[in-house]
Amino acid sequence: MTVRRLSLALTLVALLVPAAAQAGSIWTPVASGTTDTISSVVYQSPTRFWYATTNGKIEYFNGSSFVAGAGVTPGENFTDLAFQPTSVAGGPGTTGLYGYAVASNGDVWQTSNGGVSWTPVPPPQTPADCSSGSPVAAETELNAVVWSSTSTVYLLGNNSTVQKSTAANTPTPAFSEINKVGTGTCAAQSDTSAQNLTDATFLPANPLDGFLISQDFGSLYATSNGFASGVKKSEMVNNFQGSPRLAQDLANPNRLWAVDHSPGGGGCGELCLQFSTDGGVTDTHATFPNDSNASVGLYDVSSQGGIEVAAGSGGEIFNSTDGTNFYLQPAGGALATENWRAEDAYDAAHAAVGGENGALAITNQANTIPNHAPPPGPPASISGTGSSNGSTVTISVSCASTPCTVTITITTSSPSHTTRAVSATKKKTVTIATGKFTLHHHGKNTLAVHLTKAGKKLLKKHHGRLKAKVLVSTKVGGQLQKVSRTIHIKTAKQHKK
């Protein structure tokens, strides 16, 4: 085992020599050979390493550099990439290296030789929704591709698409829709609501056991029969406009993590990195011991060997050795503020991240955490809840030092026009309330912001989502500090869903 690990590690030497690890960082830059945005990374070993981009590239590592796979249509906006889980050592060309890539336009690509070449899969057909008699057409948007075994693959998309193939390790995978089965109920969700499904995870020991996650507040669905049916669990993120990703501890399957980001890659606060220890029955947000103002605009997360790694915008890379406390571990130099868009790990120590402008980095220290003391706590703690009558929003704020000033802006989204596809509905953001407060009490202050008459009418008419932007200004240690958070708030109607 030691000899094999050493030989595999040495194959990366030529790739890493031009870009040594940055001092003070656990991450080593890697030459990707592209300036495209890397949207997905698969890192199964030092020689089983692939990435896909938003501009039609899928590249594989040949032992010394990354090489573009042949046959891919230029310009494809790839949203996810997945390779056949296998314990067989070796790079592209090894028997059994089937892989799939999916794109934002619904295209599906397959390789049978480890990414050396790619061919398109006939477009999967799917109903528009879960209702009886819903028109069937080619899939128009896919968000994720996930292997549950060496022969079974799931494709996840908007409007509740769940396509499954049990012959994914053959040239004719024959995907079929298993969620929209024409009964009026979405089978994998056991409800009637159309959901944009963004990720899934399955147990290798029992590939029929799995979880799906959706865009809408990270709604989580569990199955024990390969999503012939499913049960809704908790809502894993406090956001409804991103693209949640999901990770599971395979040694302790009840432990789950979900991450998300706001539109454009912005942060959505601590409630966009949440975890569950009971299989999604309940969840709670992570803590950030060495980052007092974490933005948490995260795009990807993994769990391997009891270690979790998550990456996102503004240089944010977090790792955790206990699944609860996540430590900021940014790359160094020019990559310190990189917008990371993908992450993967193959064991507790080894992980990779990819991002904008072809940025790519790896680490063999994913299981280490900083040894310096955490900085002082944040100047304020912010949480929020929606009112039960649709006319008032309450926000709870605790200031570290008083007096402090709190400014709250409440917005909602409403349709400006609608096209045939649910996912193509255009929305505009409207401010429906503002409030400004000066606080003199150190403990929790509950602040009520009343919606305008026009705002209440708009909310009632369109069943819009409420979003509160909270800005707190206070002096700590004689210095002015500010903290802001965007809170996505459920209305009473949403709570009853």
pLDDT tens sequence across 240-271: 999 999 999 999 999 999 999 999 899 988 88
Region 228-249 average pLDDT: 95
Of 206, 159, 60, nearest to 424 by C-alpha is 159
Q: Measured between alpha carbons, how far is 47 from 327 in angstroms, rounded to an integer?
A: 28
Strands 142-147 and 404-417: unpaired
Average pLDDT, rounded, for the chain: 84
Residue 276 forms beta bridges with which residues? Answer: 256
Region 147-156 average pLDDT: 95
pLDDT of residue 481: 67
Region 144-149 average pLDDT: 96
pTM, rounded to two decimals = 0.76
Residue 480 sits at φ, ψ, to 5 deg, of: -70, 125
Query: Residue 23: which pLDDT band, with cuts at 50, 70 and 90?
Result: low
Region 173-177 average pLDDT: 96
Query: Residue 381: which pLDDT band, with cuts at 50, 70 and 90?
Result: low
* Stronger pLDDT, 9 or 301, i.e. the higher one: 301
CA Rg value for the chain: 23
Query: Does 181 score more than 50 pLDDT?
Result: yes
Of 93-97, 129-133, 367-371, 444-448, highest mean pLDDT: 129-133
Of 237, 308, 302, 314, nearest to 270 by C-alpha is 237
What the block records as the tokens of 123 is 């477009």
pLDDT of residue 420: 36
pLDDT of residue 15: 45
Q: Measured between alpha carbons, how far is 250 from 345 in angstroms, rounded to an integer?
A: 13
Region 147-151 average pLDDT: 93
**Residue pair 375/53 in contact by the 8 Å Cβ criterion:** no
* Stronger pLDDT, 361 or 10, i.e. the higher one: 361
Task: Give Cα separations from 143 to 44, 157, 163, 341 (angstroms).
Answer: 21, 5, 12, 14
Of 63-77, 261-275, 379-393, 460-474, highest mean pLDDT: 63-77
Query: Does 16 score more than 80 pLDDT?
Result: no
**Out of 137-141, 166-170, 208-212, 480-484, which region has the weakest mean confidence (pLDDT)?**
480-484
pLDDT of residue 436: 86
DSSP-assigned letter for residue 23:
T
Region 458-486 average pLDDT: 68
Cα-to-chain-centroid distance, residue 220: 13
Q: Measured between alpha carbons, how far is 356 from 370 in angstroms, rounded to an integer?
A: 26
The helix (H) or strand (E) run that includes residue 458 is helix 453-462
Kindly report the length of the chain.
497
The helix (H) or strand (E) run that includes residue 48 is strand 48-53
Query: What would the 3-class secondary structure string for 206-226 be?
Result: EEEEEEEEECCCCEEEEECCC
**Residue pair 90/110 in contact by the 8 Å Cβ criterion:** no
Query: Residue 384: which pLDDT band, with cuts at 50, 70 and 90?
Result: low
pLDDT of residue 487: 72
Dihedral angle over CA of 231, 234, 238, 240, nearest 10 = 10
Query: Residue 409: which pLDDT band, with cuts at 50, 70 and 90?
Result: confident
pLDDT of residue 456: 78
Query: Residue 9: which pLDDT band, with cuts at 50, 70 and 90?
Result: very low
Q: Measured between alpha carbons, how far is 373 from 92 in angstroms, rounded to an integer?
A: 44
Q: Helix (H, G, I), strand (E, B), or coil: what is residue 127? A: strand
**Residue percentage of the chain with pLDDT more than 70:** 80
CA angle 178/180/182 to nearest 5° reads 115
Each residue's pLDDT tens digit, 45-85: 998 999 999 999 999 999 999 999 999 999 999 999 999 98
pLDDT of residue 433: 81
